[in-house]
Amino acid sequence: MTTFKTLGLSENILRGVFAAGYDTPTPIQAAAIPIASSGQDLIGCAQTGTGKTAGFVLPLLHRLSMGRRPRGRREVRALVLAPTRELAIQVEDAVRTYGKHVSLYSTTIYGGVGMGPQIKALRRGVDIVVATPGRLLDHMDRGNVDLSQVEILVLDEADRMLDMGFIRDMRKIIAEIPRRRQTLLFSATMPQEVQTFARDIMARDAEFIEIGERRNPAKTVVQHACGVDHHQKMDLLLHVLENEPVENVLVFSRTKHRADRITKRLSKKGFAATALHSNKSQNQRQRALEGFKRGRFQIMVATDIAARGIDVDTISHVINYDTPSEAESYIHRIGRTGRAQTSGDAITFVTHDEKKYLRNIERHTGQLLQRKTYDDFETSVVLETEEEASNRNTRRKKNRGRGQHSRRRSSSRRN
Ligand code: AMP
């Protein structure tokens, strides 16, 4: 059996891992750690909640602590790029936790806050920087940071960074890092854009590992869909909160405005609720997140971007107040529950107009959401049964197959 000990990590790193309370590596850790510790480039296709953070942070710490640190002021030797500040903070948290017993310094760099403290931290000298691309580039432009000594570059949630339009910033940053380096790239999905980007910046012999089926949300999440009329969504939310064994609940809404409204109404009903979205200041967001983590708030209402990287192990339910129009968002959202070893529930509210999104999600993930109704909650919105959905998907596949067949035939005729 693979254990953290057999993965070849140094004693001091193992102490950090055990202090975090882990005894067995998750599959991505078991696969990634030996490759990354050996210094090879690695592309990891893994969803959030699989333990991928430790999968790159542990080998990174291992290599930096084993290598010789140049004399004098500490130089940035490892750079992790992440799409959002929340994720950057979370990754650096992991660096601090696992790296407690090695003498390495780290800092986070992200936008939305003053530059002063970040400049100070950089001047004092750090070994590891965890940054969002935009702000890091600002620092680079002002000469606040030198990346010429970087040995390890990590791109976390690369698909999301590309989605968010960071490609040019990323390329500019990477151009300042020595070519002789190790590059680790993690992504929940592997669209063409990510593959092309990886090919440009990574060694040709980069290892590729894929954990779990590419598009399927973590298996530990039970997924439900609930039909509801548009004007009844709040009532349904209250009904769910009262009838399900909820602990910590993350509610997703389509817009910031709606997130605020839902939060207000929940608070009025006596729930400890808070909102997380990008209209809030960085401090407000940190407070909301900390309060949610520590149990001061039972419910957090968030929008997609703000919720990236939320790492709270006790989220028992994710509720999609609005069905996400993109399947990728759906996967990221529900990945907030059922993290690592715990299981979770995801309930998606679907109005008549949102049925098309549900179909899209089911097609994309290849999984059917379990239909859920509550006896004492009436609604006029009836969802297609799982059987009907399954039959429709089968018919679609068949038709597609037939389409391809006839295309093939017609091309052979042309020849
Ligand atoms: P990640 O996919 O990196 O966001 O990690 C998901 C969650 O799994 C985090 O809350 C980690 O603290 C937790 N975790 C990571 N590795 C392990 C492990 N080997 N055993 C138990 N929990 C873990």
In this model, does residue 215 exceed pLDDT 50?
no
In angstroms, what is the span from residue 305 Cα to ligand 1's centroid? 21
333 C-beta neighbours (distance < 10 Å), count: 23
Query: pLDDT tens for residues 54-68?
Result: 999 999 999 999 987
Rounded mean pLDDT, 37-63:
92
Residue 176 lies in a domain: yes
- Among 331, 311, 306, which Cα is nearest to 254's? 306
Asked whether residue 396 is assigned to any structural domain, the reply reads: no
Pocket test for ligand 1, best of 4, 53, 248 (most atoms within 8 A of CB): 53
Torsion of CA 266, 271, 277, 280, to 10 degrees: 100
Contact (Cβ atoms closer than 8 angstroms) between residue 248 and residue 271: no
State CA 37 to chain mean position distance: 23
Q: Are 339 and 309 in contact (CB under 8 A)?
A: no
Q: Which atom of ligand 1 is nearest to the CA of 53?
A: 3
In a domain, 395, yes or no: no
In a domain, 33, yes or no: yes
Position 353 scores a pLDDT of: 96
**Please, what is the average pLDDT of the chain?**
88
Give the C-alpha separation, 17 to 230, whole Å: 47
Q: Is 105 in the same domain as 40?
A: yes
Crossing angle (nearest 10°) for helices 85-98 and 282-293: 50
**What is the domain extent for residue 301?**
221-383
CA of 51 to the centre of ligand 1 (A): 4
* 311 Cβ inside 6 Å of ligand 1: yes
Let me know whether 77 and 143 are in one domain: yes
Would the CB of 227 count as within 6 Å of ligand 1? Answer: no
Task: Say which CATH number the domain at 135 has.
Answer: 3.40.50.300
Are both 8 and 156 inside the same structural domain? yes
Q: Does 259 have pLDDT greater than 90?
A: yes
Could you tell me if 189 and 241 lie in one domain? no
Residue-wise pLDDT for 135-194, tens only, equals 999 999 999 999 999 999 999 999 889 888 899 999 999 999 999 999 999 998 888 889
Are 153 and 29 in a shared domain? yes
pLDDT digits (tens, 9 = 90+) for 78-136: 999 999 998 999 999 999 999 999 999 999 999 999 999 999 999 999 999 999 999 99
Please state the atom number of ligand 1 nearest to the C-alpha of residue 55. 3
Residue 394 Cα distances to 217, 362, 388, 403, angstroms: 21, 12, 10, 14
57 lines ligand 1 (CB under 6 A): no
Instruction: Answer yes or no: is the C-beta of 313 below 6 A from any ligand 1 atom.
Output: yes
Tell me, what's the pLDDT at 10? 93
47 lines ligand 1 (CB under 6 A): no
Q: Which helix (H) or strand (E) holds 124?
A: helix 116-124
Say whether both 96 and 25 belong to one domain: yes
pLDDT reported for residue 414: 35
Ligand 1 pocket, 183 CB below 6 A?
no
Determine the Cα–Cα distance for residues 269 and 263; give it in Å rounded to an integer: 10
Q: What is the pLDDT of residues 190-199, one digit of tens each?
A: 888 899 999 9
Q: Which residue has the tokens 């042309």?
A: 414
Which residue's structure tokens are 């080998």? 59
Clarify whether residues 174 and 286 are in a common domain.
Answer: no
* pLDDT given for residue 413 in this prediction: 35
- Given pLDDT bands bounded at 50, 70 and 90, which one contains residue 370? very high
Count how many domains the chain has: 2
Asked whether residue 407 is assigned to any structural domain, the reply reads no
Rounded-to-integer distance, Cα 342 and Cα 362, Å: 23
